[in-house]
Amino acid sequence: MLLGISVLAWAGGAGALAQENPEAGQGVAAAKAKSGGSKQTAAAAAAAMEQQDLQKAIEQASNDRAALMHNLMEYLKKYPQSSQRPQIYRAIVESSLQIRDFSTATEYAERMVALDPGDLSTNLLSVQLLERYGDAAGWRRATNYCARVIELIGRESANEKSPRVSNEQFEKDKQRDAASIYLVRGRLHQKLNEMQDAQKDFEESFRRAPGAAAAERLGELAELRKDLNGAIHQYALAFALAEGSTGGVTRAELRKKLGNVWRLAHGSEDGLGEYLLRAYDENAAAAVGPKPARNLGLKEPSEFVLRRAPDGLPYALAAIKGKVLVMNFWTTWCGPCREWEPHFEKVAGRFAGQEKDVVFLEVNCDEDETLVGPYLVEEKPKTSVLFADGLDLLLGVNSFPTTLVLDRTGKIAYRGEGVDMENPEASLVEAIEKTLHRTEMGVPAAVAE
3-state percent helix, strand, coil for the chain, nearest multiple of 5: 60, 10, 30
Q: Which of 49, 320, 334, 448 is labelled catalytic?
A: 334
Round to whole Å and give the CA distance between 78 and 307.
Answer: 74
Closest CA to 92 of 102, 79, 105: 105
Round to whole Å and give the CA distance between 437 and 429.
Answer: 12
Round to whole Å and give the CA distance between 364 and 420.
Answer: 20
H/E stretch holding 422 reads none
Is residue 382 within 8 Å of residue 345, measured between CB atoms? Answer: yes
Q: Which of 105, 129, 221, 337 is labelled catalytic?
A: 337
Closest CA to 233 of 220, 249, 252: 220
- Residue 292 burial class via C-beta count within 10 angstroms: exposed 0-12, middle 13-18, buried 19 and up: exposed
Cα dist from 286 to 119, 280, 291, 328, 390, whole Å: 36, 10, 10, 27, 19
Residues 6+ apart with CB under 8 A from 269: 259, 262, 263
Q: What is the tally of helices (H) and strands (E) in the chain?
A: 18, 9
**How is the beta sheet containing 324-330 ordered, strand by strand?**
314-316, 305-308, 384-387, 358-364, 324-330, 402-406, 412-417
> ∠ CA(19), CA(24), CA(25), 5° rounding?
130
Catalytic residue flag (residue 365) = no
Closest CA to 381 of 372, 393, 391, 394: 372
Round to whole Å and give the CA distance between 191 and 139.
Answer: 8
Round to whole Å and give the CA distance between 105 and 103.
Answer: 5
Round to whole Å and give the CA distance between 187 and 404.
Answer: 54
Round to whole Å and give the CA distance between 394 and 422.
Answer: 30
Catalytic residue flag (residue 146) = no
Q: Known catalytic residues?
A: 334, 337
